A and B are shown apart, each in its own frame.
Chain A
Amino acid sequence: MTTEISDLEKMASQVRRDIIKMVYECQSGHPGGSLGCADYLVALYFRVMKHNPEFNMDGTGEDLFFLSNGHISPVFYSVLARAGYFDIAELKTFRKLNSRLQGHPTTHEHLPGIRIASGSLGQGMSVAIGAALTKKINKDSGIVFSLHGDGELQEGQNWEAAMFAPFNKVDNLICTVDVNGQQIDGPTSKVLDLMNLEAKFLAFGWDVMHTDGNNMKELVATLEEAKSKTGNGKPIMILMKTEMGKGVDFMEGSHKWHGIAPNAEQLAEAFTQLEETFGDF
């Protein structure tokens, strides 16, 4: 397992190359949010989480991760493959017929590392809570992590879940919101402003933390601090600021790259900006 910050940064660069290439090859998918969350997923799978790439669904004794905003599947698939869950060559099949790498993650094709289907938004926090409850019943010390989009919080089910977890002291749960301020139709502030997320989650009873999701050192420190805060009676919510499209300058900071693929020239340009560190698939 990679542990040094510089190694994690190198892995994140490779993951970003994977994302761009996967989306380019099938000419569809969601590069923007995937690039923004590359550092987070690399930090989890290469440093923070206790997990076993010899995958089994129950994950007994392991930390678990749930991706609620399933459209950023490219980053999830790349990280799982790079972490050893399946062969990186399989990344070529993303979004193609007869692939295990569906447009949105699913257990249905038995891809190692996936524990729930996601794509229809707003369901992952409830699922993560359920998995955390089972860990408690089973006296399993593993921690449950989950990632959610900020725009995704417009779905009401999140707030049912947000109300449930603190009241029921689900304190083996670390949720993270990718606060990139963008959604399909534009900035979240214009589409449906999320207003003060910190105040909202504090009012619901969460332990709220902040981090820069594109600063590996800070991110790892935040996640490790969050781990140390588990078991204290409160679920933890990390509000993680990221830049959509991070790492590719012409994709950065705009909702326009939420769900479109680069052309050949844009792919080449993106690759000049991202170092190939562990070999392309």
Chain B
Amino acid sequence: MKKYTYTEKKDTRSGFGAGLLEAGRKNENIVALCADLIGSLKMGDFQKEFPDRFVQVGIAEANMIGIAAGMTIGGKIPFTGTFANFSTGRVYDQIRQSVAYSDKNVKICASHAGLTLGEDGATHQILEDIGMMKMLPGMTVINPCDYNQTKAATLAIAEHEGPVYLRFGRPVIPVFTPADQKFEIGKAWIVNEGTDVTIIATGHLVWEAILAGEKLAEEGINAEIINIHTIKPLDEEAILNSVKKTGCIVTCEEHNRYGGLGESVAQLLATQLPTPQEFVAVNDTFGESGTPADLMKKYGLDSTNIIEAAKKVMKRK
């Protein structure tokens, strides 16, 4: 097992904030909109440096999405920022009609996704957002795994023509991806090469997958760990190549098991290469208040669950 170490822990939303500022410096057409959550989304630096390219819309997310769609007419590249719940479920129809169906170059940037939002509870812990966004034709869906990858993803989507959903979160987690790693939309990152089981993870679950891989290695199980940061378009080739070697797969995500990464992988494998699969995901339920760590444990999303799932799926080969 390849060794991954880290020197600091950071939140992925700060990676977004840093990426947005840098993207804004590179391209004057980038504008940002926020619905009363500048601090939470880490958009303050962009606002300070580019006040004329920043729009505070207040607590009015539907209006924010519509304004963003309109701002593309004339060449702007709008980045909208609010919590994941208010970025998707609350404004699904606005995104569907004014952004996706209208082919608008809007970047919907969503923080506080999933259970790791923590104490605010289920009203804010959206676990269905990946599903909603990936169902929209033409929408790119990205869920990076740490600070560096979120920053790189933010820069990458700025240069990508078309609507994007970028999902990140609140908790501080290890920064383990190389700062100079190029972010290629739709291209998986092979975190560790292995032959016994494929573990595919997205977002905060990637670090848990690495921890699981280390434990499995101690037991002589050689796991191939793949970071799928782009859920749509899915890197089908990377997944198929891996399961050809390993013959079984575990998918890991901080999302409902319905509609998420695991479902996309299952559809791929069912049609291309039927393979035993286990899902580490939230089992069709709402979350609740608690610390991020307690929630990940209770809802079955930590490294222990990944280890169990890997052993289980290997028996099904």
Contact = CB atoms under 8 A, between A and B. Distances in A.
B63 A138 contact: no
Given A126-B65, A157-B94, A108 B71 contact: no
Interface string A196-228: 000000000000000000000000000000000
Given A64-B73, A117-B98, A123-B94, A137 B31 contact: yes
A141 B65 CA distance: 24
Contact of A58 (B53, B68, B75): B75
Given A107-B102, A108-B102, A163-B60, A118 B70 contact: no
B98 A138 contact: no
A163 B55 CA distance: 14
A137 B52 contact: yes
Interface in B100-132: 101-104
Interface residues of B, number: 32
B65 A60 contact: no
A115 interface: yes
Contacts of A122: 62
Contacts of B60: 160, 163-164
Contacts of B162: none
Interface residues of A, number: 39
Given A137-B53, A160-B62, A130 B97 contact: no
Nearest to A130: B70
Interface string B36-64: 00000000000000001101011010111
A129 interface: yes
Contacts of A123: 62, 66, 94, 97-98
A161 B98 contact: no
B66 A130 contact: yes
B55 A133 contact: yes
Contacts of A140: 74
B69 interface: yes
Contacts, number: 116
A131 B76 CA distance: 9
Contact of A127 (B57, B58, B67): B67
Interface in A99-145: 106-108, 115-120, 122-135, 137-138, 140
A116 B74 CA distance: 13
Nearest to B71: A130
A268 interface: no
B74 A135 contact: yes
Given A120-B97, A164-B57, A129 B76 contact: no
B184 interface: no
B93 interface: yes
A106 B74 contact: no
Nearest to B28: A137
A58 B31 CA distance: 16
B101 A108 contact: yes
Given A127-B66, A129-B66, A157-B63, A134 B74 contact: yes
A99 to B, nearest CB: 16
A122 B65 CA distance: 12
B97 A118 contact: yes
Contacts of A134: 70-76
Contact of B102 (A64, A106, A156, A161): A106
Nearest to A125: B66
A137 B66 contact: no
Contacts of A115: 73
A156 B62 contact: yes
A157 B64 CA distance: 10
A194 interface: no
A57 interface: yes
A118 B63 CA distance: 15
A137 B67 contact: no
Contacts of A168: 55
A44 B145 CA distance: 51
Given A115-B73, A116-B102, A157-B63, A130 B68 contact: yes
Interface in A146-195: 156-157, 160-161, 163-164, 168
B66 to A, nearest CB: 2
Contact of B74 (A58, A120, A129): A58
Contacts of A132: 70
A137 B69 CA distance: 15
B162 to A, nearest CB: 13
A103 to B, nearest CB: 13
Contacts of B98: 116-117, 123, 126-127
A164 B31 contact: no
Contacts of B57: 160, 164
7 contacts: A59-B73, A115-B73, A116-B102, A126-B67, A134-B71, A137-B74, A168-B55
Interface of A: 57-60, 64, 66, 106-108, 115-120, 122-135, 137-138, 140, 156-157, 160-161, 163-164, 168
Given A130-B73, A133-B67, 14 more contacts: A116-B70, A116-B102, A117-B97, A126-B67, A127-B67, A127-B69, A130-B69, A131-B74, A133-B71, A134-B72, A134-B75, A135-B74, A138-B74, A163-B58
